Amino acid sequence: MSENVTVNRPIGVTILAILAGVAAVLAGFHLLQSFGILPYTIGPYSVRGFNLWNALMWGLMLWIWIWVIQMLWNVEEGAWIFLAVISIFNLLLAFSYMIGKAEWSDVSVSFIVNGLILIYLMLPGVRRAFGRK
């Protein structure tokens, strides 16, 4: 017998899943840049380059974001803390790129998306959806 299980998914969790989807698209974009399919844009210049290590890391990040989207969609309890850790990690990476030689335009979208995820994650309604107080 198949049992229909309905998950009570608040709108805040759905919005988080959509934002995580945007972050997954960004990771996919960086993955394609690492394979040399899409160019890196550094100020007014565009450069294509292949870097296997970056491709492996961005591929892993893409897989993690897809996993997080699945956890959010099913409103699993561990998704809240996992998403917080991943978004903080991505914010630290974007910030370290900005301290280095990267332009704000290179990491601005990633920085803004991860910042929105972290801010929205801390809202009381979203915290309650995951059993946090």
pLDDT tens per residue, range 72-129:
998 888 888 999 999 998 888 878 877 876 666 667 888 899 999 999 998 888 888 8
Contacting residues for 49 by C-beta, under 8 A, at least 6 apart: 33, 36, 40
Contact 114, 23 (CB under 8 A): yes
Contacting residues for 33 by C-beta, under 8 A, at least 6 apart: 39, 40, 49, 54, 58
Q: What is the mean pLDDT of residues 24-45?
A: 82
**Is pLDDT above 60 for 1?**
no
Contact 91, 111 (CB under 8 A): yes
Highest mean pLDDT: which range of 2-16, 35-49, 53-67, 84-98: 53-67
Instruction: Tell me, yes or no, if the pTM score tops 0.85.
Output: no
Question: Residue 5: its pLDDT value, please?
Answer: 53
